[in-house]
Structure 1
Amino acid sequence: MYLHTIEEEQATGRVAEIYERQRAQIGFVMDAAKCFTARPDLLPIYTDFSDRVRAGFSLGLREWRLITLIAAKHIPSTYCSHVYSRQLIDDLGSKEAVLAVQRDFRTAGLPDKDVEMLAYAETIAQDASRISQADIDRLRAVGFSDTQICDIALCAAFRCFVSRFFDAVGAGTEAAFINEDAEFRATMSVGRAV
């Protein structure tokens, strides 16, 4: 981490509560949480916003993770690629399936609906000004509601914000998220080296 942040033993109030919740969920406090404490008022705001976005997300966790993986690839965010690829192994059934999506989701054997969702997320991460009515029409044609389209856009754009912030302040990928497989690790290292 490039900035001074609140360490676990120094945390009080809401920051301590958020740290404790994360420790209870995954066993440690991520740099992704700590980095917001360079300005201590930010972590509760970020956490509340993130929790509300996820609680109201009209698609499943699998879709959240797929969108995040593709957005992270184009940001490029090694941190988020490693975190979400690890979670996607269970969702997709194997490391090979995750690698196929990371390399080219269009040829990874995903359903058409997923391909359209990820094409939209990819364009958002690369250059959202290129989105047109035709993109929205394609999403509707494969069965997405306007609420779901909004959520795809929100998930991809949210990832652009947080991933760039993590890199800008030096949040690093924790060892727990780095796969022991050299090919997998290299493929997910899309930006800063781990």
Structure 2
Amino acid sequence: MHKIGFLSVPEPTAEGRRVFDEDIAELGYVMNVTRLWAYQPATATGLFDLLRRANSADNLSLRQRFILVTACASAFGDSYCSLMWGSKLATASDAQTAAEVLRGADDGLSTSERVMAGWARKVARDPNATSEADVQALRDAGFSDSQIFTITVFVALRLAFSTVNDALGLLPDAALRSTAPAEVRNAVTAGRPIEEEK
């Protein structure tokens, strides 16, 4: 039986084949995460539509989104998103900065980016441990209350996506062994290992 994570590989629907084709066009292979979400491709599409809608009010920049996902994924212990988004952050900054964000040391970031990354980690680790002082720190870094809400929703939705992937045993794609910068790979020390070559 062919498996994806802990589950059997689902039969792809027309919509599933469409997203497979999108992966191949963009990356040259079908990501494990795409194969898993072939169980409910419309749910994955809906989740990413919701992420776009959440961001539409305040338009977080690509770099800000890369920082948020890299910080929250590493704090959450999700190796797959840490590798994928740490690599994206490396392209928007450099590999060393991305590795520092993965380790929780944000020296390569601006003051507002450091505060934002810290907030993403707190939300990922223990949302009940946040305080009004943490929110005030975001305000002091220049974020409006609307932006703080957007940032928090964005992080929470990304965590929902990661939770499904991690709980069902999804391994990071073997291709990440060569496509993720070495600094990023070495900084990812939690979560599931990169899959072996097929």
Q: TM-score, normalised by structure 2?
A: 0.83
Aligned equivalents of 2:67, 2:12: Cα separation in 1: 33
What amino acid does structure 2 have at the position aligned with 1:119? Answer: G
Gaps of 5+ in 1: none
What amino acid does structure 2 have at the position aligned with 1:83? Answer: M
CA contact (8 A) 1:69 1:85 kept: yes
Quote the residue 1:115 is aligned against: 114
Of all paired residues, the percent bearing the same amino acid is: 27
Aligned equivalents of 1:181, 1:137: Cα separation in 2: 35
Q: What displacement does 1:44 show?
A: 0.8
Quote the residue 1:150 is aligned against: 149
For these two proteins, the number of residue pairs brought into alignment is 186
What amino acid does structure 2 have at the position aligned with 1:87? Answer: K
Quote the residue 2:72 is aligned against: 71
Aligned equivalents of 1:144, 1:97: Cα separation in 2: 22
Quote the residue 2:6 is aligned against: 2
Superimposed CA distance per residue, residues 83-115 of structure 1 (whole angstroms, 9 cap, x where no aligned partner):
1111111111x2122222222334x13111001
Quote the residue 1:18 is aligned against: 19
For the residue of structure 1 that corresponds to 2:8, the secondary structure is coil
What amino acid does structure 1 have at the position aligned with 2:20? Answer: Y
Aligned equivalents of 2:47, 2:167: Cα separation in 1: 20
Aligned equivalents of 2:15, 2:191: Cα separation in 1: 32
Quote the residue 1:161 is aligned against: 160
Aligned equivalents of 2:138, 2:109: Cα separation in 1: 15
Aligned equivalents of 1:70, 1:190: Cα separation in 2: 13
| Structure in which a larger fraction of residues adopt helix | 1
Q: What displacement does 1:146 show?
A: 2.4
CA contact (8 A) 2:68 2:120 kept: yes
Is 1:49 matched with 2:44?
no
Quote the residue 1:31 is aligned against: 32
Aligned equivalents of 1:95, 1:109: Cα separation in 2: 10
Quote the residue 1:99 is aligned against: 99
Structure 1 residues 184 and 53, CA gap change in structure 2 (3 angstroms): closer
Q: What displacement does 1:183 show?
A: 5.2
What amino acid does structure 2 have at the position aligned with 1:193? Answer: P
* Structure 1 residue ranges (4+ consecutive) displaced by more than 3 angstroms after TM superposition: 179-184
Superimposed CA distance per residue, residues 48-84 of structure 1 (whole angstroms, 9 cap, x where no aligned partner):
2213413552201111111111111111011111111
What amino acid does structure 2 have at the position aligned with 1:51? Answer: D
Q: TM-score, normalised by structure 1?
A: 0.85
What amino acid does structure 1 have at the position aligned with 2:33? Answer: A
Quote the residue 2:189 is aligned against: 189
